[in-house]
A and B are shown apart, each in its own frame.
Chain A
């Protein structure tokens, strides 16, 4: 009898302590409904309501909320607190990677998350896209789909070009650096403008002499446009490289947006 009483006491104590350590859970179908219907206020209120839920889950669902209504800082903050749980959700990781491809904080995301944490083919491809956007010369172009391979080759063409060479080409022939920078339509206008100003400056210098104010103005005017053409070719090629990189990332994000599931709750 005493042993039976002791057994019941011990069982009751065990149940009491187990109950203390157990947590409630979020209502997943309800969250799915809130997400699918884009009820952001209700969604946020539900996530912020006090419940006895493990911190990991709270940050995981908050990260998904800030991914859906994209807020990069808050998403990254919540992701860092629920990394293990979030990385198991392949679809959410893919969607986050796609969103960050065209975001200013892509470096933060792709260093916080590594493709080694997941075995999803799409995650590996998106990570490869990010790495190739930073260095177009790395190998692995066959990892990408055919459409993105063409974009990468276009970006690679301009990645290897040197701005100093564009400036040097413009020194010899005004506007030639623009062709090297990929702006073929600018070449005739820049060349004609510089030739016209050079002809004006030469005529003023030849007819009026060095000390005449008009010849000084003409030579200065031509000089300003000539040096602007040299600096402009240098600056344009740097801008074109950035533009090609951004276009490659935009095309990749667009491609994966179409070919990936867009639902955070399945």
Chain B
């Protein structure tokens, strides 16, 4: 048990200290030099909020369990395994978005399905307009 707690604290500390490199003058110079080449694919890593949801969703503990697991995965695990998704909205963000929109069951099924079809060869199955400039599949849902 002690060993498990120690490993958990170690993993947590990686996320705390990993962003301190670019904080000085060097960081400002590097940002200005390379900002032109940055891709605008910063993904949101906030926990799901149930403020605007119905009472049933607010008191359902499974929703909070899912939100906590996804938050833990995005903050700690995904940075360790350097996860790179084939889709523009990553599988974890897509699952969060679907759980927010469609509820826990349908949202999880959609997220798990995207996870099981998340590999580079899948890009060839999509029409041209669904492939972005950095060769990722656009997975926003169209209105029509």
Kindly state whether residue B37 has any CB partner on chain A within 8 Å. no
The stretch from B14-22, B56-64, B109-117 touching chain A is B109-117
User: Which residues from chain B contact A247 at a C-beta distance below 8 Å?
Assistant: 127-129
Kindly state whether residue A265 has any CB partner on chain B within 8 Å. no
> Cα distance A229–B127 when bound, in Å?
22
Known contacts A228-B112, A231-B106, A231-B109; A183/B117 CB under 8 A? yes
Determine which of B109, B122, B129, B142 lies in contact with A228 in the assembled complex, contact meaning CB atoms within 8 Å: B109
**Shortest distance between the CB of A217 and any CB in chain B (Å):** 13
User: Which residues from chain A contact B112 at a C-beta distance below 8 Å?
Assistant: 224-225, 228, 232
Kindly state whether residue A242 has any CB partner on chain B within 8 Å. yes
Q: Is the interface of B mostly helix, strand, loop or mixed?
A: helix
**Shortest distance between the CB of B29 and any CB in chain A (Å):** 40
Kindly state whether residue A117 has any CB partner on chain B within 8 Å. no
> Cα distance A94–B19 when bound, in Å?
56
> Cα distance A224–B62 when bound, in Å?
15
Kindly state whether residue A235 has any CB partner on chain B within 8 Å. yes
Known contacts A183-B122, A224-B108; A246/B113 CB under 8 A? no
Kindly state whether residue A193 has any CB partner on chain B within 8 Å. yes
List residues 214-252 of chain A with CB under 8 A from any CB of chain B: 224-225, 227-229, 231-232, 235-236, 242-244, 246-247, 250
Known contacts A183-B117, A228-B109; A246/B124 CB under 8 A? no
List residues 98-144 of chain B with CB under 8 A from any CB of chain A: 106, 108-114, 116-117, 119, 121-122, 124-130, 142-144
> Cα distance A244–B125 when bound, in Å?
12
Query: Are the C-beta atoms of A232 and B125 separated by less than 8 Å?
Result: no
Tally of contact residues, B, Cβ under 8 A? 23
> Cα distance A193–B127 when bound, in Å?
25
Kindly state whether residue A182 has any CB partner on chain B within 8 Å. yes
The 8 A CB mask of A91-112 against B (1 = contact, 0 = none) is 0000000000000100000000
**Shortest distance between the CB of A224 and any CB in chain B (Å):** 6
Which residue in chain A gives the minimum CB-CB distance to B119?
A: A189
The 8 A CB mask of B76-104 against A (1 = contact, 0 = none) is 00000000000000000000000000000
> Cα distance A7–B94 when bound, in Å?
85
Known contacts A104-B143, A242-B142, A246-B129; A189/B116 CB under 8 A? yes
Query: Are the C-beta atoms of A231 and B142 separated by less than 8 Å?
Result: no
> Cα distance A178–B121 when bound, in Å?
14
User: Which residues from chain B contact A224 at a C-beta distance below 8 Å?
Assistant: 108-109, 112
Which residue in chain B gives the minimum CB-CB distance to A183?
A: B125
User: Which residues from chain B contact A225 at a C-beta distance below 8 Å?
Assistant: 112, 116
Kindly state whether residue A88 has any CB partner on chain B within 8 Å. no
> Cα distance A183–B119 when bound, in Å?
13
> Cα distance A236–B130 when bound, in Å?
14
User: Which 10 interchain pairs have the tightest Cβ spacing?
Assistant: A232-B113, A228-B112, A231-B109, A228-B113, A183-B125, A228-B109, A186-B117, A185-B121, A247-B127, A185-B125
Apart from A182-B125, A232-B116, 13 more pairs, CB < 8 Å = A104-B144, A178-B117, A183-B122, A186-B122, A190-B116, A224-B108, A224-B112, A225-B116, A228-B108, A228-B110, A231-B110, A243-B126, A246-B129
Ordered by A's residue number, 10 sampled pairs between the chains whose C-beta atoms are within 8 Å are A182-B125, A194-B116, A228-B108, A229-B116, A231-B110, A232-B114, A243-B127, A246-B142, A246-B144, A247-B127
